[in-house]
Amino acid sequence: MKMKTSDFDFKLPPELLAERPSEQRDEARLMVIHRDTGKIEHRLFKDLIDYFDEGDVMIRNNTKVFPARLMGNKEKTGAQIEVFLLRELDPETRLWDVLVDPARKIRIGNKLFFDDDDTLVAEVVDNTTSRGRTLRFLFDGSYEEFRSKLKEIGETPLPKYIKREADSEDIERYQTIYAKEEGAVAAPTAGLHFSKHLLKRLEIKGVDFAELTLHIGLGTFMPVEVEDLSKHKMESEQVIIPQESADIVNRAIDNKRKVCAIGTTSMRSIESSVSADGHLNPFNGWTNKFIYPPYDFSIANCMITNFHTPKSTLLMMISAFAGHEITMKAYEEAVKEGYKFYSYGDAMLIL
């Protein structure tokens, strides 16, 4: 049966959108779904360890969120403009793709000033979409000093649904504890639940970790505006899967162990680089893969994910993996049980 966008709609009470993370990373709630029986369990995230054994592998996205939200002032009028850094186009000329808000005020040739002493200025050189612009940053100093300046004045790019300002807690909590490759404008949120203590316990139990990098762009959160899913286009995101990680995953596949994708970004990455015999290939490139039912997964046989919003591409991927009926039933239960949704929300383990 061909699925449509409306098949992924459900009523999500606004109070279930998580404004803040759980007090301890690994004490968020965890819903466990058994695909073979349809059974649902209610646990805490730290109980994850009960479902994994020696030789099992978890695949994690080690991308690091950079402080991508800048507040600038328009030349002459002084109007405050939010600039959201999306992607660096050229380090040499300091060209960036950005989103601006309010966009109607920003035209080619406008200049934006970002600090009191005007050491960082940007000039608008192109329009890309209704809110998208290409900026050239003007800064006297080395590339390292320029990046350091962006970090100094930038804010943690919390998702738009969180109406409060980012604070010092967010700097730490909107980042996985294993984040190291800077380049994402949103966190791989399923990984936010792992604490140092839980990782150590999993390692002691003999669970292996394979790392990859997918730099998350805002395309992940773009609404699906067509009813026919085959017409929706995902934005491309950069993916790097090292040889060592491919080897760890392939060994687990050959030994018939659990291969668990931590989050939808890890899942998209590995499904973008599958060999003819169902193994993982190393990869360095871009992916715009959109996974929705029906879809045959090649690498992972279980996954960890957060609870996603109605009609989102993320919910569509989960439905492809767990089965649409099971997924929608689980979401109905999550709403009834008061699970928290979205970036700072609770988690789900699909076995």
pLDDT digits (tens, 9 = 90+) for 196-206: 999 999 999 99
Write the burial class of residue 1 (CB in 10 Å: 0-12 exposed, 13-18 middle, 19+ buried).
exposed
Residues 6+ apart with CB under 8 A from 260: 52, 56, 57, 58, 59, 300, 301, 302, 303, 304
Element (H, E) at 141: none
* CA 270 to chain CA centroid, nearest Å: 15
d(CA 247, CA 260): 15
316 to 170, 213, 243, 325: CA distances (angstroms)? 28, 22, 29, 12
pTM of the predicted protein model: 0.91
**Greatest CA separation for the chain:** 66
Q: What does the DSSP 8-state code read for residue 281?
A: P
Q: Which residues of 29-61 are buried (b: 16+ CB within 10 A; e: fewer)?
A: bbbbbeeeeeebeeebbbebeebbeeebbbbbb
The helix (run of H) or strand (run of E) holding residue 325 is helix 324-336
Q: Which residues of the chain have pLDDT under 50?
A: none
Question: What pLDDT, on a 0 to 100 scale, did the predictor assign at position 32?
Answer: 98
Question: What pLDDT score was predicted for residue 178?
Answer: 98
Structure-token match 């099992």, residue found: 56
pLDDT value, residue 221: 67
Select from 289, 287, 288, 285 the least CA-distant residue to 297. Answer: 289
Region of 163 please: left (phi>0), alpha (psi -120 to 50) or beta: alpha
